[in-house]
Amino acid sequence: MTRAHRIILPALILILIFLLPLPSFADQYQVSRVIDGDTIEVKKGATKLTIRLAGIDAPETSKKKYEPGQPFSQQSTKYLAKLALNRPADVKSYGADRYGRVLGEVFVEGNNLNLEMVKAGLAEVYRGTPASGQNLDPYWKAEEEAKAAKLGMWVLGDKYVSPREWRRMDGQ
């Protein structure tokens, strides 16, 4: 094996790890932490992964202590914790985001948590570039239904600000 092969081969393996979906097996991971309404940590043995729930965007939590963040951010985080914290979960990966987090759909007892957050009106469909291969049709339908029923953040009506716009206003 040449020196170039010894350098290129490990790099290719790392790239493939991030591009190929994680296998999904029943009870593969345990949800160990809910960071906010669209980000969790899962563990399996010594392996810990940060999962960014693909296809959704939840209200932004404050990065400053003692500030509430965007309206409904705390409710969103608490609801996700109620659905997932300390429970076994399957993860369907769509690769990694620019921060190195796994983009994934998370399933607890067969329920798609990403979709459940949208149905509850505690996350919207992600307005940026979608994860490659993810079908967002059920998410758009769930968002329209949650809006029509004025669930969660949709009760704000015209005062509602998308998390994407909130980040722009907040300089994030």
Give me the active site residues, please.
52, 60, 101
- Look at residues 118, 43, 32, 49 and name the one whose alpha carbon lies nearest to residue 79: 118
CA distance 125 to 146: 11
Q: What are the tokens at 22? A: 């994680």
Q: What are the tokens at 45? A: 């043995």
Phi, psi at 108, each rounded to 5°: -120, 120
Q: Which residues pair with 48 in a beta bridge?
A: 43
- C-beta pairs of 125-128 under 8 Å, 24+ apart in sequence: 125/55, 125/56, 125/57, 126/54, 126/55, 126/56, 126/57, 127/57, 127/162, 127/164, 128/57, 128/164
